Amino acid sequence: MTDLVTFGETMLRLSPPDRERIESTSTLELRAAGAESNVAIAAHRIGAETMWTSKLPDSPLGRRVAAGLRQYGIETEIEWSDEGRQGTYYLEFGTDPRGTSAIYDRADAAVTTATLDDVPLDRIRDASMFYTSGITPALSDTLESTVDEVLAEAQDAGTTTAFDVNYRSKLWSPAEARASLTELFPRIDVLVTAERDARTVLDQSGDAADIARDLADEWDFETVIVTLGANGALALHDGEIHEQPSFETDTVDPIGTGDSFVGAFLARRLAGESVPTALEYGAATAALKRTIPGDVAVVTREEVENVMDTEGRDISR
């Protein structure tokens, strides 16, 4: 039985090297990148048996996405389509005062047409946990319905459901996101939200603990995790608040940090660890991810535990 099944869009990420500008570079680095596949890979690296599922175009670009994910050892279940495109995004790194920026080219992507028939429901029903994020229903009306239906199928089968708000302002407004996501909330057991998303999208106020309690009280979530960026994360479970500071890190590439945190947290919860221990794994994995180019946490559990032990961060001999 699979521990964790994730569902969502994975794009191809194209980035110029060494903080060059897109308009002047002659080289673009190509990687597969997507929130749900990032979570699946991070969870797999920390010990869970994971599968990512989606719909891709049967094209060289779609096959490149599949190959780019399989190299990390996760299982993939893909609905191949003769219609639709492969979504891409262009990531330009910058430092102050020029920040990092992303240009998305995902219109008419094959995944936006995915229906319940395109999803491996038997695998989701048999899995211990199903995960998706707020990016997926934001991509199309079809996906909004599909996510709702898949969460219902998972819930009815007794599969634990986990969901990250993961708000993207380039996809929808806070009001649109709030209306859609709160329709999904009754089907979710474990909610993850950045503090800023809780305030902007979910109209929450107070400190992070207040936010977690208010969300749990209103929607009866089993667990609520509020991520706090450089200040770590906080979780509410069984009425108790657990706080986890971040680990010191030098940032090479911040993209995918939150997904890495979520993947590691879910992996250790699936392994039977306590919420505080899972939070610590999540924070350590996120710190390591920031030192690695690309969206994916290419880490080992041993490396993560070394960070947790505050040892093993210098030269390994």
From first to last of the 317 residues of the chain, give the pLDDT tens digit: 799 999 999 999 999 998 899 999 999 999 999 999 999 999 999 999 999 999 999 999 999 999 999 999 999 999 999 999 999 999 999 888 988 999 999 999 999 999 999 999 999 999 999 999 999 999 999 999 999 999 999 999 999 999 999 999 999 999 999 999 999 999 999 999 999 999 999 999 999 999 999 999 999 999 999 999 999 999 999 999 999 999 999 999 999 999 999 999 999 999 999 999 999 999 999 999 999 999 999 999 999 999 999 744 454 44
Output the pLDDT for position 167: 98
Task: Indicate the pairing of strand 160-164 with strand 4-7.
Answer: unpaired
What are the residue ranges spanned by the domains of the chain? 4-8+32-78+113-300
Which two tokens mark 223? Answer: 């667990």
* Annotation marks residue 203 as catalytic: no
Q: Assign domain 4-8+32-78+113-300 to a CATH class.
A: alpha beta
d(CA 240, CA 77): 37
Output the pLDDT for position 99: 87
State the catalytic residue, choosing from 197, 253, 259, 295.
259
- What pTM was computed for the model? 0.96
Output the pLDDT for position 263: 98
Output the pLDDT for position 315: 44
Output the pLDDT for position 312: 45
The set of long-range contacts for 81-85, using a CB threshold of 8 Å and a minimum separation of 24, is 81/55, 81/56, 81/57, 81/110, 81/113, 82/57, 82/58, 83/57, 83/110, 83/113, 84/55, 84/57, 84/108, 84/109, 84/110, 84/111, 84/112, 84/113, 85/57, 85/61, 85/109, 85/110
Output the pLDDT for position 18: 86
